[in-house]
Amino acid sequence: MDHLEATEEQAAAVLAGRWGISSSKVTAVRSGRVNQTFLAEREDGGKLVVQLLNPDFQASPALGENWDAVSRKLLEGGIPCPALLPDKEGRLLSEGPGWGEAWRVSTFVSGARPEQNARAARLAAKCLGSCHSALNAPRPADLLPLPSGDFTNQRLPKASDFEDFRTLYRRHPSLERIGKPLARGAEEAMRLPGSPSFQRVFLMKDLVIHLDPKRDNFLDDGGRYALIDWDTVSYGDPLLDLGELCRSFAASEGTPRFDSETMGQALAGYRETGLDLGDRHFSLLPAAVRGIAVNLARRYLADALLESHFVWDRENYPSLFEQNVSRAGFLLDLAEELREREFELMKLITG
């Protein structure tokens, strides 16, 4: 089965055959960028979320076990979170015969994607902070290691990461078409801060974090927010999560690309409920957003050549290649702006 071309009929058959749950209607959800997602309406009432995982995840047991551990702890604390349902054989991930084919079913959490504004960023950051606090008290939750792969932003990008494209993809027919963004990526990576405190943001593995808290992964149910899609939950620096949240809520087309008020509101929201990282660590937030943007640009450029990880947004781009190059270009523009405004943004945090 082609991971990216599963149909609503196939999702319904998987739900009925492997979970023993009949559905009256299954609808594809087009917002996801990695996994393929379907919304199923049960014949006996209620809704479920059915997902075909991206094969890059290698059907790792961690993608079920970690999510299950997280949802149990959050739900115990009264924090809304989708919970996984085991299939008829008790498996949280149900593997199929195709390479990397793995399905997952979770409960449905109501809500819509939040607006892209400062108020929504503050509420999302409060939700993120609550999750961080619950998952790390009195000690970090126990998690399995994620499978090896390049599907998170928990990596400090280096100039060599972009320069190595010439070796890794030297025979690719489209390599020269991304020559300029590769050069820009190397330049921006080289100009990231070299301080040990900044380096540790990407290297620390002490606390449980979501690792993908972008706007698409929050649900707003009338002001009550939920954080979903716990695929990549792992150990890391909470500033990576807050930085990704800020990148997603505060960055948009136009000038300036990054809205400082949104970042300030997100930080204020996180401080209400989240972990106390200290003012000096919070002051690294603008640089962390920049590092995340550069690394995500690298991932998009790699997928422009591989065309294997991110889902093609057919409504807005003529090809997966064009989609990923365009998104990488926007992220590099964002990184350049953040670099030029870094001291201004830091002053908003430090006063």
User: CB neighbours (10 Å) of residue 224?
Assistant: 12
The 3 state secondary structure assigned to 27-79 is EEECCCCCCEEEEEEECCCCEEEEEECCHHHCCCCHHHHHHHHHHHHHHHCCC
**Interval 281-301: pLDDT, tens:** 999 999 999 999 999 999 999
**Interval 156-203: pLDDT, tens:** 999 999 999 999 999 999 999 999 999 999 999 999 999 999 999 999
102 with 132, same domain: the answer is no
257 with 325, same domain: the answer is yes
103 with 122, same domain: the answer is no
**Interval 12-27: pLDDT, tens:** 999 999 999 999 999 9
Q: What does 142-208 look like in DSSP terms, one character per residue?
A: P-PPPPSSS-SS-S---HHHHHTHHHHTTT-TTGGGGHHHHHHHHHHHHTS---HHHHHHHH---EE
Which domain range does residue 83 map to? 3-107
Residue 249 belongs to a domain: yes
- In 3-state terms, what secondary structure has residue 91? coil
For residue 66, the model assigns a pLDDT of: 96
80 with 142, same domain: the answer is no
49 with 153, same domain: the answer is no
Nearest to 181 by CA among 316, 33, 330, 323: 330
Q: Number of structural domains, the chain?
A: 2
Buried b (16+ CB within 10 A) or exposed e, 195-214: eeebeebbebeebbbbbbbb
Q: How far is CA 205 from CA 4, 55, 132, 143, 237, in A?
A: 32, 25, 14, 12, 7
Name residues whose C-beta falls within 8 Å of residue 350's C-beta, 6 or more positions apart in sequence.
279, 283
**Interval 80-124: pLDDT, tens:** 999 999 999 999 999 887 666 899 999 999 999 999 999 999 999
Whichever domain contains 24, its CATH number is 3.30.200.20
pTM of the model: 0.94
85 with 210, same domain: the answer is no
Whichever domain contains 289, its CATH number is 3.90.1200.10
Residue 113 belongs to a domain: no
130 with 58, same domain: the answer is no
